[in-house]
Structure 1
Amino acid sequence: MMLSLLLAVLLGSWVLTFLMMRYALAKKMIDVPNERSSHTTPTPRGGGVAIVVAFNLALPCLSLLNVLSLNALYGLWGAGIAVAVIGFADDHGHIPARWRLLGHFSAASWALYWMNGFAPLTIYDAPVDLGVMGTLLGMFYLVWLLNLYNFMDGIDGLASIEAITTCLGLALVYWCSGYSDQIWLALLLAASVLGFLYWNFSPARIFMGDAGSGFLGVSLAVIILYGAWLSPELFWSGLILLGAFIVDATWTLIVRLVNGEKVHVAHSNHAYQHAARYFASHKLVTLGVISINIVWLLPLSLMVGLKMLSGIVGLMIAYIPICILVWKFKGGRPA
């Protein structure tokens, strides 16, 4: 039953992405290259809607099969769809950053309400319940992850590959940690992205757009939070798996803030964008991120999930080499 559902979601996403290409061309939703772009060919955008529709139509099946609580279903549905609608509207015509941010915080509040707030964490094996501060931290965690995912969706296939490898990694960690019933949520999201990836891998025939990237960011954030309620270690495992995106986006933001730049203005100064120009290849950088995720981050995530390594220690070990890479590729600095 589950495998049939995953296959149906994959095929549905594949077909919907093709239809979204036709729609984007008809509505002239085209990304035209400019001085901030990492691509050179006008390309339709908004294909991430296929991911949103395929995932959300199939999501109730997990509740019906008793592998997803109703609270988690409502949290994922409400937050994900709200962020996707905001992004889709922005794909059609610019929405001021302050209104987007208001919508994002509203979506984060919705998710936290249904997820019973921010889960208690373990820091150096000591349990820590942050209470009200945890709720505030949870809001910024959700909003930052959904926005950084948007920032990191700048070259062919990268955001799709990151979502797929993170979801597959989460499923493996859950399985090995004794939560085998919980693997299907992550696998469902991976299947919905895989159908889209066929059209998005280099050279991309359609881009994800804000609707898709924001949706993936908030959905991954909520899924990781859901895992944290099962076991605090799973929260750290999820952050480790997303390390390539979290480090590049956060480092770049800090550098731009220190340099007095307007952080809400579009740019192409992330480390992955510098790397794509340096190697003159989107595909090579995307494959490089796959290698980092599988060879470096996944084993550390497993060690933390299996309680062989403290979460905060595992996070630091995982992030330090990525920080060096981001520094080497001049993250945040002008090209």
Structure 2
Amino acid sequence: MSIIGIILTSFVISFLLTGYMRHYALKKNIIDNPNERSSHTIPTPRGGGVSIVITFLFVLVGLMLSRELDWSTGLILTAAGFGIAVLGFLDDHGHINSMLRLAIHFVIAIGVVFFLGGFSEVTLFSGNVQLGWLANIIAVLFLVWLLNLYNFMDGINGIASIEAITTTLSLAAVYLLLNIHLSSELLLILASSVLGFVLWNFPKARIFMGDAGSGFLGLILGILALIALKTDIAFFCAWIICLGVFIVDATFTLIRRVSNGHKMYDAHRSHAYQYASRKYNSHTKVTIAVLFINIFWLFPMAYLAAQKVLMPEVILLMAYIPLILLAVFLGAGKTENA
């Protein structure tokens, strides 16, 4: 089957599976009921992200069996993604102790870094900064943080899906434009799998993604970013730029809340996107704003970083400055009602 056929098939499977997951969630009463920390006002079934997981992993296995994807990459993505998805699925059905969940996240992240061969050779700023073994620790922390922040940022209609779709399409375009020997096909397949879900979630949410889907997306995007890092730090910077809205909002919010005396794991609704959705009384406006930021600001900056117009680390900083200012303007991390 051609890559176009695989992409279309992925979309159709994901779309149909999401409809089934909605039926399943309603039947099993897997419902998100609004509370004082919610950005929603209507009880809504959750767990639709399982469709993304099943579709993407199904296609991965098919690509491995047909030898269109090397087994080492495919097995890392499949095993790690499946593990995180199962953990999230169980959490969607009932509460899992947060410390146990975090411990499993670290075990999976360590396994990914190990089987990718480690990152001790990574250097920054044109080779002037040698990270050595510290790079492996940073890579593990990066994976754990990304899969968790993706969960934190999945709070309004469509935002987690739009972030995944624009990131994967942007990086696929960068790979193709620069003729980079990295798998743009995987990015397109992941984008189509998410697109099949988001039609059920945006602009009106008929089902939520749930922890299984958000954690899976965060981890898979993180692994693909680390695979790019194995090739060149410039491509990794391009990934970090494209994920900038989520990384800046989640990280800035956490730092500000902890500095204000809040516990790291306290539930809240003080992310920039949450303040924005209340300020403008719309999920749709905020999600579309993220779409525009990703396409018209972060994608061009990622392309420049990948091209090494300047040092990629400098372009990354340039890309993030407006995002940080926006987070400050919207009050990210500020104590609610303060």
Displacement of 1:308: 1.3
User: 1:189-228 to 2 correspondence within 5 Å?
Assistant: 189-228=190-229
| Matched residue, 1:124 | 125
Distance 2:51 2:153 in 1: 19
Query: What SS does the corresponding residue of 2:251 show, helix, strand or coil?
Result: helix
Distance 2:63 2:128 in 1: 30
Distance 2:187 2:120 in 1: 19
Query: What SS does the corresponding residue of 1:134 show, helix, strand or coil?
Result: helix
| Matched residue, 1:145 | 146
Query: What SS does the corresponding residue of 1:151 show, helix, strand or coil?
Result: helix
Displacement of 1:277: 0.2
Distance 2:96 2:5 in 1: 39
Displacement of 1:109: 1.5
| Matched residue, 1:2 | 3
| Matched residue, 1:169 | 170
| Matched residue, 1:53 | 54
Q: Deviations over 1:148-177 (max 9, x none)?
A: 000000000000000000000110111122
| Matched residue, 1:155 | 156
Mapped pair 1:72 → 2:73: yes
Q: Deviations over 1:108-167 (max 9, x none)?
A: 112112211237444222265533222111110100000000000000000000000000
Query: What SS does the corresponding residue of 1:104 show, helix, strand or coil?
Result: helix
Taking a change above 3 Å as real, the CA distance of residues 128 and 16 of structure 1, as seen in their structure-2 partners, is farther
Q: Deviations over 1:254-299 (max 9, x none)?
A: 0111111122122110000000000000000000001100111000
Distance 1:67 1:130 in 2: 34
Mapped pair 1:292 → 2:297: no
| Matched residue, 1:18 | 19
Displacement of 1:3: 0.8
Displacement of 1:333: 1.2
| Matched residue, 2:333 | 332
Taking a change above 3 Å as real, the CA distance of residues 134 and 14 of structure 1, as seen in their structure-2 partners, is same
Distance 2:183 2:221 in 1: 14
Distance 1:130 1:176 in 2: 30
| Matched residue, 2:87 | 86
Q: Which runs of 5+ in 2 are unaligned?
A: none
**Is the deviation greater in 50-59 or in 61-70?**
61-70
Displacement of 1:68: 3.2
Distance 1:193 1:277 in 2: 26
Residue 121 of structure 1 contacts residue 127 of structure 1 at CA under 8 Å; is this kept in 2?
A: no
Residue 48 of structure 1 contacts residue 212 of structure 1 at CA under 8 Å; is this kept in 2?
A: yes
Distance 2:213 2:130 in 1: 33
Residue 119 of structure 1 contacts residue 232 of structure 1 at CA under 8 Å; is this kept in 2?
A: no
* RMSD value, Cα: 1.4
Displacement of 1:179: 2.0
Query: What SS does the corresponding residue of 2:73 show, helix, strand or coil?
Result: helix
Taking a change above 3 Å as real, the CA distance of residues 330 and 181 of structure 1, as seen in their structure-2 partners, is closer
| Matched residue, 1:323 | 324
Residue 119 of structure 1 contacts residue 228 of structure 1 at CA under 8 Å; is this kept in 2?
A: no
* Aligned-partner residue type, residue 149 of structure 1: Y
Mapped pair 1:244 → 2:245: yes
Residue 6 of structure 1 contacts residue 191 of structure 1 at CA under 8 Å; is this kept in 2?
A: yes
Distance 2:181 2:34 in 1: 45
| Matched residue, 2:259 | 258
Distance 2:216 2:46 in 1: 15
Distance 2:174 2:121 in 1: 19
Q: Deviations over 1:179-224 (max 9, x none)?
A: 2662111111111100001001121100000100000000000011
Distance 2:282 2:229 in 1: 37
What TM-score does the superposition give when structure 1 sets the normalisation length? 0.97
Distance 1:33 1:181 in 2: 42
| Matched residue, 2:282 | 281
Q: Deviations over 1:4-29 (max 9, x none)?
A: 11111110000000000011111111
Displacement of 1:61: 3.4
| Matched residue, 2:269 | 268
**Is the deviation greater in 125-134 or in 155-164?**
125-134
Distance 2:133 2:91 in 1: 32
Query: What SS does the corresponding residue of 2:138 show, helix, strand or coil?
Result: helix
Query: What SS does the corresponding residue of 1:100 show, helix, strand or coil?
Result: helix
Residue 182 of structure 2 contacts residue 228 of structure 2 at CA under 8 Å; is this kept in 1?
A: no
Query: What SS does the corresponding residue of 2:133 show, helix, strand or coil?
Result: helix
Identical-pair percentage: 48
Taking a change above 3 Å as real, the CA distance of residues 133 and 195 of structure 1, as seen in their structure-2 partners, is same
What TM-score does the superposition give when structure 2 sets the normalisation length? 0.96
Distance 1:322 1:187 in 2: 26
Distance 2:308 2:100 in 1: 41
**Is the deviation greater in 292-301 or in 181-190?**
181-190
Distance 2:231 2:267 in 1: 38
Q: Deviations over 1:229-248 (max 9, x none)?
A: 22221100000000000000
Taking a change above 3 Å as real, the CA distance of residues 185 and 292 of structure 1, as seen in their structure-2 partners, is same
* Aligned-partner residue type, residue 325 of structure 1: L
